[in-house]
Structure 1
């Protein structure tokens, strides 16, 4: 559901709340979906949570609407402070270790700006080191600041080549920003913590790690451990970036956060937008953190959907990467644009291009019922010789 739809629906429903009783529209929508059409396609292109947000998050939004004419306040005993304190407690850290942002993108943006300013002030060069195939937003924000971008090719198994990334940082006489998306988008694969930790532990202060864990809550592989452990150890040249867009299904409300040492947070906060989150998003995020039942429902639904898709891809002998996220990266026959068009003609929206892997596609894991529709479409494509 998009933000404008939430507000429109919430505004209508608030009146019925005053008349008594919680309206049925607030209850979790059923998992069953109707067959997609041109007007209502099956949307599997942006790694959203098709379950929709927690019912408790919807309730929290409605409860907060009467206060929405006020600016969000930043003193104690407010939703903003309650959210920051809850996040700090959940990670066994303090509120000073948390920064909120307009989705994870807001924190990525302000971090890039803060580090660019630091390099300018110190009169040293700066570079951004990224894997060749990863989420592009850090690069998007670095370009207007004229920060050189060093792209390091994946290894033969399509994993990050940490050794070459490490070398790029060591050989640079300046500040290196290292962007690590873990699990990676679009591959869905993880970088084992033992491998990453070896670099982080010995990295000098002029190597700064941006660890994007937008999909961390979906991971089952024990080789993954959140990099927040380094903040507990006092590591200052690192920030972990997370979001409420994925497992919590608040993508349209645009709320995320960063976790780092207090000095790091204080510096980045100087470059964050004022009032960068809204009261409805804060209320929904806080309610979502407390709704453990919905969290488990999202996690289990994603597991089932992933297994369904893997079974179909195995049956069709289609190559794919082992995903630990809420999407999967698989190889297609022919070029992606043709595949996208054929899927769109079948009323299914699939993922965008990720150069240079133009014969691969990223597909979001919808609900199990949505994946039934998608896997049936894949099988029909095979019969036509399209995949």
Structure 2
């Protein structure tokens, strides 16, 4: 049995089975039992190299075992690192991890994972997935390793050293034309999603904002009092209505940004749709009886519980299909359509930014650049008006 000194530790290397085993004594644990670190390999040299690496990890504070894999790190993160996240977000991240991260990288020992491994993995995914999806998947790995770092399971985060490659072109968002919008509104008339579609199209609210709206967020203007009052108290026999967009179906229940908190006057079409929806929901409540769970939500299931985003998408695609537009549309494109229609009518971009809850016009221009009407001719048109158009030649 050979004894060697590795750093401040005394190690022994001895034959065992078909190879060699190296052991380092780490003293005694709290229970009085001797603690030993072992490594195995085919040759003495390989064992010594493993012991040297193990000592470096010890001195760096890394405590992961040689068997701790990327799968272990990702599963630990899914178990401990998603506290406070919404159920939808947790489900989405778990699907990304179990579909794209664990099957390809899961068996690799975390300590042995290299930037080359991550590069090759992402390059392979880039042949099939959109850039946005690639960023999300890469983010799962980075956060899982970051948590492992915080628990001294690995020294560095190699996923942070790699740039996410560009993936395939994702499906660009679309906007309904005025004629298409009218067809969708007509097709939605007999759908349980009718008021949802009308409100989203005519106010431009986000889908997560629509799902979080409560009836006390719908208010009527009382001229005699010069105040807004919830329709739950004032009813719908008034001329002017608004909605308080103060919440969203997000973690914590707040809107996307502070600027997103806004009060929007309702177009007549939206107010009428909500009036009819309120009556229909009262009938549903009576029909459900004791099964009804009262969350005071504008849009809910047949028993009052919050709507699931995927169910909304499926119901909306049935509407667009009925309107003759196919099933490739999503509810968020009602917001894009609102911006497009506003722009086509000459509404200033500053006003549009306020209506959709953006902090400034730069965000609106970046997100909805395909929906905004080009205004590059405005300068020439204005000068023609001032100085008059003179004939050429």
With structure 1 as the length reference, what TM-score do the two structures score?
0.22
The structure showing larger relative contact order (alpha-carbon pairs under 8 Å, at least 6 residues apart) is 1
Larger Rg computed on CA atoms: 2
Higher helix share: 2
